[in-house]
Chains A and B, each alone.
Chain A
Amino acid sequence: MGLTLENVDWSEIAEGTGATLTMLGFSTLFAVLIGLPIGVILFLTSRGQLLENRAFYSFASIVVNILRSVPFIILMILLIPVTKAIVGTSLGVLGAIPPLVIGAAPFFARLVETSLREVDRGVIEAAQSMGASNWQIVWNVLLPEARSGLIAAITITTVTLVSYTAMSGVIGGGGLGDLAIRYGYQRFQTDVMIVTVVILLVLVQILQSFGDRLVLKFSRK
């Protein structure tokens, strides 16, 4: 008995794919916009850096760790009231974005902190010797020098978000994950499940190789 695709409604698959891409696009965008400054601040306040502040760093670090250690599926449920307050609903594509962002931003912030650590300390010192302000050092030295590391961090975050968007289907988040759960799991339509998994897999492959190519392009070492 070969695999038939009799249960697959391709228009629904297309719609689900569109919803997943929308969630992915917005959540990546906001996770980066929020996570980047947090990562920069974590780096700057860490030991031996320009704005070293142990108390602040420990506090921020603990908050980031807490958000990262809660499993995403639980975080999503915990955040339902927050989500409702921000976008008015906890359902559908719109309702999925806030928990995705809150789940991914701390993760991305840590990756940013790590890539900034890779920047040669001597280059920061050289900029200081030229009379650069801290802001100029962040903007003109740290971010450009860490560029390829940051692109890799965005790629990893986006790929992680692909699996998060699928999970958000559990609480009615829409997209491919939602299809997989409603048809594949609840109605035993294995073919629908397989099609969604294949699409997600292809999506991850495309994102990763695109990211890798960008990293290579911007790498100057």
Chain B
Amino acid sequence: MIQLRDLKKNYLVQGKTIPALHGIDLKIEKGEIYGIIGHSGAGKSTLIRCINLLERPTSGEVIVDGVELTKLDDQKLQEQRRQVGMIFQHFNLLSSATVGDNVAFPLKLAKRPKAEIRKKVDELLKLVGLEAHRDKFPSQLSGGQKQRVGIARALANDPKVLLCDEATSALDPQTTNSILALLLDINRKLGLTIVLITHEMHVIRSICDRVGVIDGGRIVESGKVLEVFLKPKHPTTQEFVEQVADSTELREAVAHEKATGSRTIARVTFLGEQTYQPILFQTMQETGTVFSILQGTISRMKDTPYGQLVVELEGDEKQSMHAIETLRKRGLEVEVI
């Protein structure tokens, strides 16, 4: 659906060339939710703005639904942009127009007939749950409601792609969740491809299928959300994982245990159905190993449940190794720390 090829962007600041993106290659499939996570200044905002050419890349190709955007003239580009909706961190609604007029705005720009606009606005307001607020002005709405207006507006032209530029960063956690649920709902109902950028792990974990970690203008790690976050390789990715799994405590616990004896400490990862089965307990019982749990998480990424337990195995090394081998045979991932 979206393909970026060797995308580079330099900014000219006071006569000096500052590179923001160093050759990004990215392929986003139709119907998926792709998340790009990075710290501020990593280039994620520039990257998402390149997808609809709000920022013109210095070099490289931007292909959306088979059309190379950088080669289009202004008018063709304006037509193509209607295929790509966008929502923003600060909503960017017209303060002088009502909720209804804001949603109607892109249709008005596309010069659609009035009756069609009315009907479409009704549908969209219903979809985002704002039928009752049609005649209000943005200043009368809460942040979450404003973002719902933004979403309805972005969907007005029936786009194939929705770009979300830090869409939940200005919202409180509860409102963030309701907006994420709405995005997931739209993705499923309309089969819309969604690209979002964020600095919050929580956003990626809740709704994304795949993720790209951006750092210093480069995608340093990418893949399925589960794989990237259960086995983070790049230091930046590890930092983001630590945002949600409080590993400083774990590190202290491990250090403490290691200092007190020659015990084996292992991280056991469960995926999907395994998460709710007593595999760990059974295995330990069968092999006669005594264990204690130092830290544990049972959670889900989008729809997949997963668990990660850090366990300490008591007894001699040979016995512990046997237990670990058995766990591996039963399909669990075990890493000795």
Contacts and interface: CB of A to CB of B under 8 A. Distances in A.
Interface residues of B, number: 32
Given A120-B95, A130-B106, 6 more contacts: A122-B92, A129-B84, A131-B79, A131-B110, A140-B105, A140-B108
Nearest to A143: B96
Contacts of A147: 96
Contacts of A120: 90, 92, 95
A113 interface: no
A133 B96 CA distance: 19
B132 interface: no
15 contacts: A120-B90, A120-B92, A120-B95, A126-B88, A127-B105, A130-B81, A130-B85, A131-B77, A131-B78, A131-B109, A133-B74, A136-B109, A140-B105, A140-B109, A145-B96
Nearest to A130: B106
Given A122-B88, A129-B52, A220 B96 contact: yes
The dominant DSSP class at the A interface is helix
Interface of A: 120, 122-123, 125-133, 136, 140-141, 144-145, 147, 218, 220-221
A131 B153 CA distance: 13
Interface string B234-263: 000000000000000000000000000000
Nearest to A121: B92
Interface of B: 52, 54, 74-75, 77-82, 84-86, 88, 90, 92-97, 105-106, 108-110, 137-139, 153, 157, 163
B109 A220 contact: no
Given A123-B92, A144-B97, A145-B95, A130 B137 contact: no
Contact of B82 (A131, A220, A221): A131
B323 to A, nearest CB: 56
Q: Which 7 A-B pairs have the closest CB atoms?
A: A126-B92, A122-B92, A131-B81, A131-B78, A130-B106, A129-B86, A131-B82
B169 to A, nearest CB: 14
Nearest to A133: B78
Nearest to A124: B92
Contacts of A145: 94-96
B52 A123 contact: no
A127 B96 contact: no
Contacts of A221: 95, 139
Given A140-B108, A221-B139, A128 B97 contact: no
B76 to A, nearest CB: 10
